[in-house]
Chain A
């Protein structure tokens, strides 16, 4: 009947350097609608460190959910080896499930139960549990304690399903597309909650097909496509190694400035788009060198620069460069 506070986790976790999750050569096949099978997960290997926020990024059908469900003890793997907190979810799902928190991509809760009752019910499944009022308070759902799940907005329901994953004070939290279908504001509030989990020292493994989400939240990102890992690294490193560098874009009236612009220092490429005026996109090595030079050139040529924007490479570019296809939504 003991109720632990969230802060206990942080101190308990730092002393163990064992990885939270180890996946080696994981495979999972599903029957193909046209006969035969296809590999939903095809030889995935990765390690998630304790206390890390790990993002699994990829389009729909890339194998993200299947990988997560195998770790959660919900789906059996066909091959390979998985360990969660040193335990095998294939042979000992209960032991794993005691210590993890799970938010499923599309999970429902008993429709006639209030939020407080649902947390109490889920809490009763575990020997240790967090206080349901505290949990509701941390995602600003205190006044919804007596609401039914069907009376919540999309963002509120999503926040609730995150705290429902926290009732047992888990060491590892799995979040499967926690912000899919949410408006930008609701998405940001879910991000705050996820950051809070990381601050408490919990390991967070989240899947997403939003580049921005992975960049903002994840310490490291695995890019996965067609059941295979394409790259794993910190978002910054991925963007440096596989990104498209930095671009400076702006619009002027002069349609014949490409040669002049290519001559500016640190510019490695110029793209022109004519649409009444001319929009130029400069691929640059160092924006802080190009931008002052660009303004000096504009001043001497008496050209008005409009809509100047500096854009660094994003994970979207990384994905595009690595897989040759755009991230499908």
Chain B
């Protein structure tokens, strides 16, 4: 417990001191907000229960930007940052200590959840300033985002652990994140997806998250109205955490030290 808490505290400090990355993480969704906030697109058949009538596309896409930003931070930056810890041998040094993978992961994930929460608050704040209309309680949206981010952070660490370097971590993250975000309903309604694909997306955590967030943001629902989605998003947290713990296990039979090849014996 003590190691988890200390890991949480110092990870948060590390993230805050890495100003450039932090500012980037906060700015990234703002660019999308500015872009979409200046369009004036009406959406009449969004497949949403809005009590009839059309909704503004900006109102529709805001939860999508929110989700995309947190997934971007949770998977992309996290997997890259973990792969970098491997490249720079920070992890090797940790492997020589008795800290359990679960304690390391829990501390790191918790610290990053704080960043996700702040990021979500900024997206909602800037979005509102730019004219988005959020009907429900924005706090529920932040809560939902953070809950889902716990899953995506575990995914990010797992990718970082299995990638052999930062470049491949980014590559794998892109392959996972892009389709997931596009097909989850972040940018457009997914009611029209082929049946099987829709079923798959409904099983994964991002589509239920989008569903729940729009019920709150557009439909003005409370947490009780999104209980099913909430549960579905929450169930993924322990599953992905367990997967990440296994992925983070040190590879004790490493082949990393090929440079240690001795010169042929000359007797």
Q: How far is the CB of A114 from chain B (nearest CB, A)?
A: 9
Could you tell me the dominant secondary structure of chain A's interface residues?
Answer: loop
A74-B92, A74-B95, A76-B252 known; A33-B261 Cβ under 8 A: yes
Does B35 have its Cβ within 8 Å of any Cβ on chain A? no
B contact residues around A109 at 8 Å (CB): 90, 93
Q: How far is the CB of A266 from chain B (nearest CB, A)?
A: 34
Cα A97 to Cα B94 in complex, Å, equals 11
B contact residues around A113 at 8 Å (CB): 10, 13-14
A contact residues around B89 at 8 Å (CB): 104, 106-108
B contact residues around A75 at 8 Å (CB): 252-254
Instruction: Out of B6, B88, B98, name the residue touching A120 (CB < 8 Å).
Output: B6
Q: How far is the CB of A92 from chain B (nearest CB, A)?
A: 10
A30-B255, A97-B97, A122-B97 known; A61-B10 Cβ under 8 A: no
Q: How far is the CB of A79 from chain B (nearest CB, A)?
A: 13
By a beta-carbon cutoff of 8 Å, the part of chain A in contact with chain B is: 30-33, 38, 40, 60-63, 65-66, 72-76, 93-94, 97-98, 102, 104, 106-113, 117-118, 120-122, 124-126, 164, 226-227, 324-325
A74-B252, A108-B88, A120-B6 known; A62-B262 Cβ under 8 A: yes
A76-B252, A94-B98, A98-B98 known; A32-B261 Cβ under 8 A: yes
Contact mask for chain B residues 121-135; partner A; CB cutoff 8 A; 1 contact, 0 none: 000000000000000
Q: Are A31 and B258 in contact (CB under 8 A)?
A: yes
Contact mask for chain B residues 246-267; partner A; CB cutoff 8 A; 1 contact, 0 none: 0000101111011111110111
Q: Are A61 and B260 in contact (CB under 8 A)?
A: yes
A contact residues around B7 at 8 Å (CB): 121, 124
Q: Are B93 and A107 in contact (CB under 8 A)?
A: yes
Q: Are B92 and A121 in contact (CB under 8 A)?
A: no
Does B175 have its Cβ within 8 Å of any Cβ on chain A? no
A contact residues around B267 at 8 Å (CB): 324
Q: How far is the CB of A76 from chain B (nearest CB, A)?
A: 5
Best-surrounded residue of B18, B98, B261, B265 (most CB of chain A within 10 A): B98
Instruction: Out of B93, B99, B266, name the residue touching A325 (CB < 8 Å).
Output: B266
B contact residues around A120 at 8 Å (CB): 6, 10
Which B residues, 220 to 267, have Cβ-Cβ distances below 8 Å to chain A?
250, 252-255, 257-263, 265-267
Instruction: Out of B13, B15, B98, B257, name the residue touching A126 (CB < 8 Å).
Output: B98
Q: How far is the CB of B102 from chain A (nearest CB, A)?
A: 13
A32-B261, A33-B258 known; A125-B3 Cβ under 8 A: yes
Q: Are A97 and B96 in contact (CB under 8 A)?
A: yes
Q: Are A73 and B258 in contact (CB under 8 A)?
A: no
Best-surrounded residue of B89, B257, B262 (most CB of chain A within 10 A): B262
A76-B253, A124-B3, A325-B266 known; A112-B260 Cβ under 8 A: no
A110-B10, A117-B13 known; A30-B93 Cβ under 8 A: no
6 new A-B contacts, CB < 8 A, other than A108-B90, A124-B5, are A66-B260, A75-B254, A93-B252, A94-B98, A104-B89, A118-B10
Q: How far is the CB of A38 from chain B (nearest CB, A)?
A: 6
A contact residues around B13 at 8 Å (CB): 112-113, 117
Which B residues, 71 to 89, have Cβ-Cβ distances below 8 Å to chain A?
85, 88-89
